Amino acid sequence: MTGDKRLAIVTGASRGIGRATALRLAEDFGGLVLVARNEEGLASAADAIRAAGAQALPLAIDLSQPQAAEIIVARTLERFGRIDALVNVAGAVPQTDLFAMSDEEWADGLALKFHGARRLALNAWDALRQAGGSIVFMSGSSALAPKAALAAVGTINAAISALAKAFAERGVTDGVQVNAVLPGPVMTDRRRSMLEKYAVSKGLSFDAAIGAFARETGIARYGEPEDIAELIAFIVSSRARWMTGATLRMDGGEIKAV
């Protein structure tokens, strides 16, 4: 059992990258607050974290709601009395073509991934400042290469990268480390959904689409949630303390740019 008293909040913790990150951070942090809308997935993740020797507080709450961030921070401080790291992973963005996407879909995408993370960072800031803590925002490699077919994905990810830079500037003064992570094609449920759309657009079977997309993007393999979890664990560790305001891309070489 870890003797570390530090506390990390991980959103989107019921599955995919969020769950993998929470499980990885259970090796380094004494407590994890797990946030997501899926109660069953949260309960499973919480059990795994307790089995790893850390405390877990699952909070089934919708981050797109304006009051959610205040509730999460209040519950966290009530239970643990501190916040040392905030990892914003939650954020399903509609996978809709630029010319088909409605105002409501744009608003929904921004409400969860952008505003949910922004509000949580603001509400946790004082506690993070007291702890000399760290924030990680989850963007994506699509921020560097937006596509019309998935317009909101790239656009909102780019906005999150910029938001992280803004928080990082204030963090230099306040002693809060802030960085953004830009994953590429990680094989999550969301990536499978994207590949299903890709398969239809190319007239391929799903299995054929998996190989075709990898060849098209020039990657050797798809990422796993654990790949990104390891990167995040490094970012919030003492070894990476001087790194702030960075946008860290891990995409298997998908984006061929400097």
Region label for 218, one of left (φ > 0), alpha (ψ between -120 and 50) or beta (otherwise): left
Average pLDDT value for residue range 80-101: 93
**pLDDT the model gives residue 2:** 55
Predicted pLDDT at 257: 78
Question: For position 94, what pLDDT does the model report?
Answer: 84
Burial degree of 165 (CB within 10 A; 0-12, 13-18, 19+): middle
Tokens read off for 203: 């007239």
Residue ranges in 175-224 assigned as alpha helix (H): 189-202, 206-217
Question: Would the pLDDT of 13 be above 60?
Answer: yes
| Mean per-residue pLDDT over the chain, rounded | 94
**pLDDT value at 10 more than 90:** yes
Reported pTM: 0.94
Q: Give the class (CATH, top level) of 7-186+224-250.
A: alpha beta
CA angle, 229 then 230 then 234, to 5°: 115
pLDDT band of residue 193 (cuts 50, 70, 90) is confident
Give me the residue label for tokens 């969860």: 112
Per-residue pLDDT, 77: 98
Measured CA to CA, the distance from residue 171 to residue 142 in angstroms comes to: 26
Instruction: Give the pLDDT confidence score for residue 34 in this predicted structure.
Output: 98
- Once rounded to an integer, what is the mean pLDDT over residues 137-152? 91
145 to each of 21, 92, 157, 199, how far by Cα in Å?
A: 25, 18, 10, 20
Return d(Cα 4, Cα 114) in angstroms, integer.
31
pLDDT at site 1: 46
Domain residue ranges of the chain, discontinuous segments joined by +: 7-186+224-250, 187-222
Query: What pLDDT digit, counting tens, does each position of 53-65 carry?
Result: 999 999 999 999 9
Statement: residue 129 has pLDDT above 90: yes
pLDDT recorded at residue 3: 59
User: What are the pLDDT digits (tens) for 236-257?
Assistant: 999 999 999 999 999 999 988 7
Region 1-14: mean pLDDT is 86
Average pLDDT over residues 98-102: 94
